[in-house]
Amino acid sequence: MNFSEVVQQWIDDYLVNFLPSVSLDLVIFGFHEGQLKVLLLRFNESEDWLLPGGRVGNRENLDDAADRSLRERTGLDRLFLQQFHTFGNLNRLTYFSWHETLSRLGMKEMAVRLLEGDSALKNHRDVSVGFYALVDYTQVSPTPDLLTDECRWWDIDQVPQLLFDHNAMIRMALKTLRRQLSYQPIGYNLLPDSFTMSELQSLYETILGRSLDRRNFYKQLMNYNVLDRLDKRPTIPSSKAPYLYRFNKERYEQLLDSEDFWIG
């Protein structure tokens, strides 16, 4: 099956089984070696990158569709996943439009058929619900989809020019994430099961983009009462072993519930 046929099959499939006009995009954040990362896809046979997305099944909840899409891209389930904005401007898809994209990909015929024929797709654009997710970098198996060749992590500050309005989406998701971080302990899903205090602090510093005082950070986190201390980690020679911590899930979710502000 060549690429044109793949695209056609994808279109046929979505016309029948998914809501028209609505899509969703995922800003999937990971954290590794002191760097905040975001998962991107590379469009088939091109150098154009974009955010993973998805569509909503006819008989599927919006949130479930986001869950499913996240699972398909990362192999992970039941993660921190939250709506942050819904994008519905006309120029979403005309700035770097599908038409232009497909043309650049040498798919002029498809482009014409998609956008100038009398199909249901004429004059069409999606309203897209943006979600952001926090995942454990080490647990993820990045998986491309039908229309993409490659799926991999990018450092947040080295993200290239993306298709559509996806750069703006990332900026907005990051803004939301930062704000949220100052309200509630995030990080449950961004770190491995257990971690040291300085790893957690490094995560916070990376997200917030500024450095924090170690001692104040320690006090704050302990005040939340959300961390369980485990055994020490055997480490590199010639130093004291740092303690490992784990989020207390019960308490963690209690905190999210009490202060969460857009899941009613």
- 8 A C-beta contact, residue 133 and residue 67: no
Nearer CB in complex with a copy of itself: 24/36: 24
Nearer CB in complex with a copy of itself: 124/249: 124
CA-wise closest residue to 71 among 124, 145, 175: 145
Considering only 20-28, 62-70, 145-153, 194-202, which stretch makes contact with DNA by CB under 7 A?
A: 194-202
CA distances to 56, 96, 123, 127, 138 from 90, rounded to whole Å, are: 20, 12, 10, 9, 38
Q: What is the DSSP string of 63-74?
A: HHHHHHHHHHHH
- 8 A C-beta contact, residue 2 and residue 107: no
* Nearest approach, Cβ of residue 129 and a copy of itself (Å): 5
* Contact footprint for a copy of itself (CB under 8 A): 19-22, 56, 58-63, 65, 83-90, 123-124, 127, 129, 168, 171-172, 175-176, 179, 261-262, 264
Name which position in 72, 229, 254, 257 contacts DNA (CB under 7 A). 229
Name which position in 214, 249, 254, 259 contacts DNA (CB under 7 A). 214
List of residues 6+ apart from 225 with CB closer than 8 A: 248, 251
Nearer CB in complex with a copy of itself: 234/264: 264
Number of chain residues interacting with DNA (CB under 7 A): 19
Compute the residue count for the chain. Answer: 264
Name which position in 8, 11, 243, 260 contacts DNA (CB under 7 A). 243
List of residues 6+ apart from 253 with CB closer than 8 A: none
Nearer CB in complex with a copy of itself: 99/221: 99
Q: What is the CA radius of gyration of the chain?
A: 21
249 sits near DNA (criterion: CB under 7 A): no
Binding residues for DNA (CB under 7 A): 196-198, 213-216, 218-219, 222, 229, 232, 237-243
